[in-house]
Amino acid sequence: MKAGLYPKLALEGILKNKRTYFPYVLTCVGMVAMYYIIGFLRYSYAVANLPGSETVSLILSFGSWVIAFFSLILLFYTNSFLIRCRKKEFGLYNILGMGKASIGKILFFETLIVAVFSLLAGLGIGIALSKLAELGLLNIMHGSVNYAFTLSPKVLKMTALIFGVIFFLLFLSSIWQIRFTGAIALLRSRDMGEKPPKANWIFGVLGALILAVAYFLAVTIRDPLTALALFFAAVLMVIVATYLLFISGSVFFCRILQKNKKYYYKTNHFISVSSMVFRMKRNGAGLASVCILSTMVLVMLSSTSSLYFGSESVIHSRYPRDINMESHMVSTEALSDENIHALYDEILSVVKKHNVTPKNFYHYRSVLIAGLIEGNRVETDVSKLNNFDTDTLSNICQFYFIPLSDYNRIMGTNETLADGEAMIYAFRRAYREDTLCFNDGQSFKIKKQLDKFIKDTDPEALTASITVIVPDLAKSVKELDTLADYNGDKMTEAVWTFEFDTGVQPEQQVQLYKELRETLRTSEMYEKYHMTSLQCESLELERNSFYSLYGGLFYLGITLSIVFVFAAVLIIYYKQISEGYEDQARFDIMKKVGLTRREIKKSINSQLLTVFFLPLVFSACHLLFAFPIIRKLLTLFGLDNVGVFATATVVSFAIFALFYTAVYRITSNAYYHIVSDTK
């Protein structure tokens, strides 16, 4: 046999099956291009010179591995479909005397042709679009634009290596499927029908119960810490429940439609439902995959876009003023009026050197301690705080004791408190008790529940917090100051907070911030003012870091959404194509007995509306119930703006729904052309 025969047969096989091979090759090209672009951005010099580039590099590194892993799964799924479609052709070769080894050679050259073309085209497109992608990322991160075009040899090698391994594994998978299938089975592979599946009510009920539990967890979680602990468990439950419901519930749904005589005994409904009920076991798994992918796209787009477009809200929540300072003291005694006034004057002397007059400023003293709250009792015993589970995570709370004099000064009020009384401001949790007791010792009678404070303590904190306004700070925390952890360190932390606006340009703000850090963060200053550390932050400087983080997440969200949409479209397309070939003979018989092309199209539309919009409906349902838990998780990034997240969610779903509808219209036309034998 001539050496050039196998490559020729391989190329002819690809061209003859171009309807199925074209989207497969297109997906391979897209995945290669996407991987190169993400890798290029990861090692880009322009991105590396931006503030927060380490975070962006980490995000892009994670994204590149996700794309590689997902490419492996998606291409395996697609390749198995292609081999199933080609089995009849290979069976014919086998009957005519071609051995399995020769068929393996054809498969080798087919894989080689697709791999070479995909790598060359994918890398070419990736290189061509890499600069555009870099400019897009720099724009999102508010970085300076550099128009110099560069290549990344390192990423070229990585891309070729990873996808070379993937294509080699695809070739082995193809050989495995052909090697252990007889010639007759290969010939009849496409024509083998399915027995009508039975609606497994046990799986259906189990899926409904699991989904109900996951939804219940999502809507009842009260705090970000619990949401973080249970999020992945809830996600796994939703995935399992979706597959169980689609595989068993879809069959049950078709059976219900069959029993509805007014609906079922119509030409378009009769044909579509009868056709679907014979393949819903396999159909259900595909539809469940589309549903999960759609949900992933919607969650990623809504969350990352809300973070990016809500960045300014997050920044001003985290940094209320231009300059934000926290001085951590060695003890509560270091918060004395004399020490604080001296430190305050030291800061003002540095500020005046830059011709800056502090505006909108405030400062206050506080003592922090963490505790486990149950009812009106707070436990700060370190042995109990280190042994919490998901049931007690929501009860972990940070307490901030603030003297009444400081509160009245910064809030412009004239409140009064007697000994043993307190006012509280609860953040991210409700407190309805009349008293607050610490370790069965120090107890406070709650005189008033405050509805606002100058700031929400730490917006990025994992736990809730309660600010306790007390008449005498030293006296109120005296018992708590004696507590120590396993290392002998004090459980309480004394802090002086000073924040102010500068009223000057960003460059001058940053210069002032740098001098404050250099002047105050020295051992002499620490010893002089009894400090353990000084945290000084500039809103303008931190803004770049925020946009780097949220811009990187948003960019990765868009990229991975494109990848998952690729997968969903491919599953939808191959589902329509495979079912079209399976139904071609059936519709041919129906046309001979009088079924018109119009009736065929109505039947296809009925099938489309009856089943194929179920993934979109379920995705919307998943997204609706996931809204509360995702909102809690976003608070870990400082985003408490529900309106921004709600708007991003609605817009993301609307755009995706339009795209989803367009894809199904296109693929349903492909199905129609196959079953009606038109071009």
- Kindly state the tokens that stand for 488: 């002998």
Helix (H) or strand (E) holding 537: strand 531-538
* Listed residues 523, 541, 559: the one ending a domain: 541
For residues 361 and 254, membership in a common domain is answered with: no
* Listed residues 541, 563, 579: the one ending a domain: 541
What pLDDT is stored for residue 268 in this prediction?
56
Which backbone phi and psi does 638 adopt, to 5 degrees?
90, 5
Q: Say how far apart CA 650 and CA 204 lie, in whole Å.
A: 30
For residues 529 and 563, membership in a common domain is answered with: no
For residue 435, give every residue at least 6 positions away whose Cβ sits within 8 Å of its Cβ, in sequence order, or none.
376, 443, 444, 445, 446
Structural domain including 512 reads 319-541
Write out the DSSP string of 255-306.
Answer: HHHHH-HHHHSSHHHHHHHHHHHTTHHHHHHHHHHHHHHHHHHHHHHHHHHH
For residues 329 and 444, membership in a common domain is answered with: yes
pLDDT in tens, 426-479: 887 788 888 999 886 778 999 888 888 876 555 556 677 889 999 999 888 888
Listed in order, strand segments (DSSP E) in 223-336 are 323-329
What pLDDT is stored for residue 497 in this prediction?
92
Check pLDDT > 80 for residue 355: yes
For residues 169 and 267, membership in a common domain is answered with: no
Does 135 or 36 have the greater pLDDT score? Answer: 36
Q: Say how far apart CA 484 and CA 169 lie, in whole Å.
A: 58
Instruction: Look at the chain and report how many structural domains it folds into.
Output: 3
pLDDT confidence tier of residue 401, bands split at 50, 70 and 90? very high
For residues 45 and 178, membership in a common domain is answered with: yes
What pLDDT is stored for residue 595 in this prediction?
64
Return the closest-CA partner of residue 55 out of 544, 640, 577.
544
pLDDT in tens, 80-123: 777 776 666 666 666 666 666 777 788 888 888 889 999 999 99
What is the residue-averaged pLDDT of the chain? Answer: 79
For residues 552 and 498, membership in a common domain is answered with: no
The most confident of the ranges 15-24, 139-148, 587-596, 597-606 is 15-24
Judged by average pLDDT, the poorest of 69-78, 190-199, 309-318, 566-575 is 190-199
For residues 11 and 130, membership in a common domain is answered with: yes
Return the closest-CA partner of residue 491 out of 399, 368, 374, 395.
368
* Listed residues 192, 221, 245: the one ending a domain: 192
What pLDDT is stored for residue 495 in this prediction?
93
- To which residue do tokens 């990016």 refer? 308
Does 295 or 395 have the greater pLDDT score? Answer: 295
pLDDT confidence tier of residue 193, bands split at 50, 70 and 90? very low
What pLDDT is stored for residue 195 in this prediction?
45
Give the count of beta carbons closer than 10 Å to the beta carbon of residue 252.
Answer: 16
403 strand-pairing partners:
470
Check pLDDT > 50 for residue 555: yes
Check pLDDT > 80 for residue 532: yes
Number of alpha carbons in the 13 Å side-chain half-sphere of residue 95: 12
Prediction pTM value: 0.71
- Kindly state the tokens that stand for 2: 């001539």
For residues 423 and 357, membership in a common domain is answered with: yes
pLDDT in tens, 573-582: 777 776 666 6
Which backbone phi and psi does 360 adopt, to 5 degrees?
50, 35
Q: Say how far apart CA 605 and CA 56 lie, in whole Å.
A: 45
What pLDDT is stored for residue 196 in this prediction?
44
For residues 489 and 347, membership in a common domain is answered with: yes
**Encoded amino acid at 83, one letter:** I
What pLDDT is stored for residue 634 in this prediction?
83
- To which residue do tokens 């509808």 refer? 661
Q: Say how far apart CA 538 and CA 593 lie, in whole Å.
A: 79
Is residue 272 a contact partner of residue 606, using CB atoms and an 8 Å limit?
yes
